[in-house]
Amino acid sequence: SEVSLSAFCFLFSEMVQYYQTRVNTTQELEKKLAGAGYGVGARMLELVCFREKGSKRETRIVGILSYIKDNIWKAMFGKAADALERSTEREDEYMIHEKEPLVNTYVSVPKDFGHLNCASFVAGAVHGILDSADFGARVTAHTTQLASETRTTILVKFSPEVMERERRLG
C-alpha cells in the first residue's frame, strides 16, 4: 500500500502552493509546512508501531532517533535516512542527515522565497513523532554545505526534562 512518487510529489507541491498564498515570508511558510508535518509524524509513529507487531516503546534518546531514522523514515520515504549524529558541542542536540530529501526534489522555489527548505515538513513530522513518544524537543530543518555536497540536516534539540530522564536511565 505505497503511494506513487508522482502522486506524493503532486500533493506535496499543491500543499506548498496553498500555504505560499497565505504567508508573507519564508519563515512563515516553513512554520506552516512544519505544522502540517507534525500531524503526519504523530500518526506515522502509531502506524509503524502497529505494523511492526513486536515493536517495543523506546525510552532512550538514541533508541527513538534510530527508530525514526531507520523504520519510520523507510515507511515514509522508501529508504532509511543517510545518517544520525550527536552534536560534539551540545549533549542535547542530535542531527539526522539526508542528502536529497524527497520533499525538496520536485519543488521549485520562487525568488521571493529565497532559501526555502521544504524539509521543514519533515522536521515537523519528526517533532510530531518525538512528542507522541514523550520526547519533548525543538526540531528544525537546515541546509548544510559539506565539501562539494549539499544536504539537509534535521536538528533535534531535546528539552531539559528529556535530558534529565536520560541521565536517570543511563
Give the model's pLDDT for residue 170.
Answer: 83
Q: What is the mean pLDDT of residues 61-79?
A: 95
Alpha-carbon gap, residue 13 to 31, rounded angstroms:
16
Average pLDDT of the chain is 91
Q: Is the pLDDT of residue 4 over 90?
A: no
Which three cell numbers mark 5? 512518487
Q: What is the mean pLDDT of residues 65-82?
A: 94
| 33 contacts 22 by C-beta, under 8 angstroms | no
Q: Is the pLDDT of residue 110 over 80?
A: no
pLDDT in tens, 122-155: 999 999 999 999 999 999 999 988 788 889 999 9
Top-confidence residue, 100 or 121: 121
pTM: 0.93
Lowest-pLDDT range, 8-17, 52-61, 72-81?
A: 52-61
Q: Is the pLDDT of residue 1 over 70?
A: no
Q: What is the mean pLDDT of residues 18-32?
A: 93
Alpha-carbon gap, residue 105 to 103, rounded angstroms:
6
